[in-house]
Structure 1
């Protein structure tokens, strides 16, 4: 579904009673226009063609009148006041992009070089570009040939997926074949663990027509399915052609990915509209722009209410504070509205600078990764939502004890606040694990092998300092991380062994 199709399907008004004002506006427009276009009295003895030539304004019916522009401005004002909307305000703690499972075919046919450098390598590049386009949305990866394997579970960190993606090749798959059905089952199980609707993207060069028909059940389950066909120009596949879902052919630019992302994300956004608790995002301000532009026609000679334009310009010039005269956007939008636009465009740093509302300012800081500053901003508010968000910000900045205090405060304000109790328990487990680990392990600080730049929240000072014994030749005990740094194994070797074990268990 295109963006326009999604808007039209979800469009409604927050304050629909204001639409009743359209009735008097249209009635006044009809009465004034009919009076202005009424023909004069008939004159006996005057030929019709002479009467038409001698009558001033005889073609007035075909002309646009001043009342037309005034009525259009009033209609736009009424529609804007009614609050048109098609989506809820974004929740900073809920991903605005659907969780997606990418199912990649890894077979010898994908090594064909009719798409440079090969179909498989180009598919990996496309998946990498898709991760960047989805801006941190949760994504999982499944690879299949004769068997199907979950390569990476749901993650919002593209750096985690990249090495595993690069390690995929046909020689790491334990069996040859084309078992897309099992791959789809694994993808559905990964989406089920996400506790929300999502999408499956098939990246392949051929599909069995029987498997194409099997995709019909996913729509009823609330799972959107798309296909990225790794086929060169002029080539086709009967199975891919039979898919009655969103399907695009690979392109040199990112237009294929943008089409897939828009279409697969539409169902998820609709689900957020139905189940979300955020207020609706009022888009009435968008109608103020064409209404303001239409007032420019009042400068034409003979058009009414020219004085209103000058009054409007004078009021905007004299009534606004000096700092509001800095840019054209400030004439039409408040700082919070400008911040909302930047937030929707994922320009979180700029949004944080624009927002005046402390709640939205803190949300923008949180999304920009400025967790400590976000926590300080949330601290100015005393609502359950703000204290919960403050706890999340502390957890992100590894201030576990402060996060625990914030979650406890949330439960005092609202004992039934969603996820507060679960997050409190998780925060306590993390803190207990850190302090228990400190008790049971040697820190190695005397030997100089402690972890670099790692600080644990250990206010209770649990654990003891242990001195490491270093032998005369300089040998010393190595930490797990240090041992792992000496391991020289390619990701492909790891995947080959792991897939072989999984195939044997199956």
Structure 2
């Protein structure tokens, strides 16, 4: 589904009672226009050619009348006051792009070169392009043949997935076959750990007809399903054609990926509308601008209708329109409106500087990675939403003990606040784990700790203070140093790992 289809399917009004004014507007328009277009009285006793020459305004009538512009402006004002919306305000703690599991078929049939260079290599290129298109959204990778294996868990870093993607080949798969149902189950298991619904994208040159029923039943559970068919022009597959999913054939450009991304994101946003707790995003401003522009024609001679000013003023100011999202100058927009524009453009650091509203300022600081500043901003508010957001910021800044107290405060304000109890339990587990490790550690502060260390809080003074040094000479190796000891290809690693998983299964 494209963006227009999504908007039409989700469109509703926050204040629908204002729509009752529309029949009144149409009634006024009909009465005034009918009176204005009524023919004048017949003048008897004058020859027709003289009557036409002496009568003003009967030669041709205007198609547009002042009442037309007034009525259209009032309709826009009424629609804006009714509060049209089709999506919720973005939640800073929930990704706005659908979490996706890319399921890649790795079988000998994917080595055919009818899709250059081969179906498999082209599929890898498409997945790489999809990662770039999704711009840091959470994505996982599953490979399947006769068995299905999770190659990379959910990650927002494309560089993590790239080497494993390149190492996939038919000879690394332990079992021959084409088990799409097992691949779907493995992908659904990855998505089940996420707090929000997700999508599964099959990148394959075919689906076994025996798997069609299973895929259809599984997709009805609420998981969006897409298929990128790695088939040449004119070729088709009975299994792919039979599956109920968003199906797109591979193209030379990125139009196939954009179509899939739009469709899967539309399903995701619809799910967020149904399950989300954020307030609806009021789009009243979209009708305020055309209503204001239509009033400009009233300055033309003969188009003034002074009685309509009262109706327009009531329509524009009776509602509660959302912040305007057009323009950049200070004398057009308030700081909060400018901050919202920067926030929507993912310029979170700039948005944090612009916002004056504490809740939105904290959200921007959180998204910008300024967790300590966000916690301080949320501390100004005494609502359960602000307390929960403060707890999340404290967890990100590794102040686990303070986050525990904050989540407890959230539950005291609202015992049923979504996610508060779960995050409280998680923070307690993390803190207990850190302090238990310190108790069991036989290393202390006498090792010669450098200046650039990562230190966790230990207010309970359980065990020695454990520090993680970034100095490789102290005994810990960096990731690059560890990679120097790896003397194997990614494909070899995947082959061994998949073989072990298949044997365990």
Alignment TM-score > 0.5, same fold: yes
- Partner deviation per Cα, 1:22-75 (whole Å, 9 max, x = no partner): 233222222221121110112346677876676433366551112211211111
Match of 1:321 in 2: none
Change in CA separation of 1:129 and 1:454 when aligned onto 2, cut-off 3 Å = farther
Rounded Cα–Cα distance in structure 1 between residues aligned with 2:160 and 2:154: 10
**Residue of structure 1 equivalent to 2:129:** 129
Structure 2 distance, partners of 1:454, 1:117, is 47
- Structure 1: which 5+ runs fail to align? 313-323, 467-475
Could you tell me how far apart the structure 2 residues matched to 1:46 and 1:212 are? 85
Look up the match of 2:437.
437
Q: What residue number does 2:457 align with? A: 457
Asked if 1:5 is matched to 2:12, the reply is no
Once the two structures are superposed, residues 318-355 of structure 1 have per-residue CA deviations (whole angstroms, 9 ceiling, x without a partner) of: xxxxxx9x966656654334433443343333332332
Aligned ranges 1:258-407 → 2 under 5 Å: 258-304=258-304, 333-407=333-407
Residue in 2 that maps onto 1:229? 229
Aligned partner of residue 352 in structure 1, secondary structure: helix
Using structure 2 for the length normalisation, give the TM-score: 0.85
Computed over aligned residues only, the root mean square deviation of the Cα atoms, in angstroms, reads: 3.3
Deviation at 1:465, TM superposition (A): 7.4
The 8 Å contact of residues 140 and 152 in structure 2, kept in 1 or not, is answered as yes
- SS of 1:375's partner is helix
The answer to whether structure 1 residue 500 and structure 2 residue 503 are counterparts is no
Per the TM alignment, residue 139 of structure 1 is displaced from its structure 2 partner at its CA by 2.8
- For residues 134-169 of structure 1, the C-alpha deviation after alignment (integer angstroms, 9 at most, x for no partner) is 344443321101211122334445444344323322
Q: How many correspondences in the alignment? A: 483
- Residues 329/410 of structure 1: CA separation in 2 closer, same or farther (3 Å cut): same
State the TM-score, normalizing by the size of structure 1: 0.84
Corresponding residue for 2:170? Answer: 170
Q: Return closer, same or farther for 1:110/1:446 CA change in 2, 3 Å cut-off.
A: farther
* Residues 438 and 465 in structure 2, CA contact (< 8 A), matched pair in contact too: no
Q: Structure 2 regions of 5+ residues with no counterpart?
A: 313-323, 467-472
CA shift for structure 1 position 484: 4.4
Q: Which residue of 2 aligns with 1:315?
A: none
Moved more, 22-31 or 494-503: 22-31
> What is the rounded CA distance, in whole Å, between the counterparts of 1:52 and 1:171 in structure 2?
93
**Aligned mate of 1:487, from 485, 488, 494:** 485
> Which residue in the other structure is 1:470 paired with?
none
TM-superposed CA distance for 1:184, in Å, is 1.7
Q: Given the superposition, is the C-alpha separation of residues 435 and 215 from structure 1 closer, same or farther in structure 2, using an over 3 Å criterion?
A: closer
Distance, in Å, in 2 between the alignment partners of 1:348 and 1:477 is 38
State yes or no: 1:40 paired with 2:31: no
Task: State the match for 1:73 in structure 2.
Answer: 73
Change (3 A) 1:444 1:124: farther
Contact 1:442 1:465 in 2 (8 A): no
For residues 20 and 307 of structure 1, the distance between their equivalents in structure 2, rounded to whole angstroms, comes to 20
Corresponding residue for residue 86 of structure 2? 86
* CA distance 1:447–1:76, change in 2 (3 Å): same
